[in-house]
Amino acid sequence: MHIAFSPQRREERLSLARSGDILILNGEELDLSGIPDGATLPRDAVGSAWLASDIERIDGVLQFTLILPHGPDAGAATLFPEPIHAEIDGPISVPAWGPGPTTEEA
């Protein structure tokens, strides 16, 4: 999975995990296994408030953008996040909600 982020000021925090083609967002499972290579699933068809883009599968890799919530004093790594390449199952580290360069794990 190739995950980009769109930072947004929110009180909520985001936890992520992957299990195959299932993305787990704060405990909510999104099964993305039905998206064939070269296809696009519109954001509106998914119904997740965390999704900020359509979901595409390009060369076998799921690609999409998620909203990245942050606090009032978030650091540069959170305000200008690098995309994440989640290649294995398990928790996915996301940029910290608050100040500092550390990451939080789901």
Question: pTM score > 0.85 for this model?
Answer: yes
Domain ranges of the chain: 2-104
| pLDDT score for 98 | 84
* Phi, psi of 68, rounded to the nearest 5 degrees: -110, 105
Query: Where does the pLDDT of residue 100 fall: very low under 50, low under 70, confident under 90, or very high at 90 and above?
Result: low
Tell me which of 104 and 88 has the higher pLDDT. Answer: 88
Does the structure show a pLDDT above 50 at 2?
A: yes
Instruction: Look up residue 67 and give its amino acid.
Output: I
Q: Using one digit for the tens of pLDDT, what is the confidence trace for 3-57?
A: 999 999 999 999 999 999 999 999 999 999 999 999 999 999 998 999 999 999 9
Across the range 58-87, mean pLDDT stands at 94
Looking from the CA of 95 toward its CB, the CA atoms found within 13 Å total: 28
β-sheet with 16-19: strand ranges across: 28-31, 22-25, 16-19, 90-92
Does the structure show a pLDDT above 70 at 106?
A: no
